[in-house]
């Protein structure tokens, strides 16, 4: 859980404009992402990139495409220790489109990560 907190705080620290590769380095560390990572974005409201991504490089590609769309991405969060899972409750996520300058509130959602064991 502390690895996730450190990764999220690194991502948020002093960042008002996004650097996609720098951000990926912070959120995609080997300590957090197993080589067999599976990222299920099939229910995400992003039709161009919704689907299931398997493996570090595929998940990095999802994040490259997602982050490339936004000039600014800000959010509040809470982490919940749920045994072999960490739940990131994302509260009040706000973004500004890179090419349009349009402000987009994403609202509340959650990300669930598992340790891959068991």
DSSP single-letter state for residue 92: E
Question: What CA–CA distance (Å, rounded) separates 24 from 62?
Answer: 10
Average pLDDT over residues 102-113: 88
The domain total for the chain is 1
Q: Are 93 and 78 in contact (CB under 8 A)?
A: no
- State yes or no: pLDDT of 104 exceeds 80: yes
Strand partners, 111: 88
At residue 13 the predicted structure's pLDDT band, cuts being 50, 70 and 90, is confident
Residue owning tokens 């045994």: 83
Average pLDDT over residues 25-29: 67
pLDDT at 116: 55
Total Cβ atoms within 10 A of residue 93 = 16
Q: Are 49 and 68 in contact (CB under 8 A)?
A: no
For 51, the domain range is 2-114
Average pLDDT over residues 27-54: 83
CATH number of the domain to which 10 belongs: 3.10.450.50
- State yes or no: pLDDT of 17 exceeds 60: no
The rounded percent of the chain whose pLDDT value lies above 90 is: 25
The pTM for the full model equals 0.75
E strand spans, 20-84? 38-40, 52-54, 70-82
């Amino acid at each position: 859980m502390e690895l996730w907190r450190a990764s999220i705080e690194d991502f948020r620290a002093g960042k008002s404009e996004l650097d996609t590769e720098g951000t990926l380095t912070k959120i995609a560390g080997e300590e957090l992402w197993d080589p067999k990572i599976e990222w299920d974005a099939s229910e995400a409201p992003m039709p161009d990139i919704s689907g299931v991504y398997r493996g570090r490089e595929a998940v990095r590609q999802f994040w490259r495409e997602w982050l490339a769309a936004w000039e600014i991405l800000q959010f509040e969060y809470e982490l919940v220790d749920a045994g072999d899972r960490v739940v990131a409750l994302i509260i009040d996520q706000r973004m500004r489109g890179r090419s349009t300058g349009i402000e987009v509130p994403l609202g509340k959602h959650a990300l669930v990560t598992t340790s891959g064991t068991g």
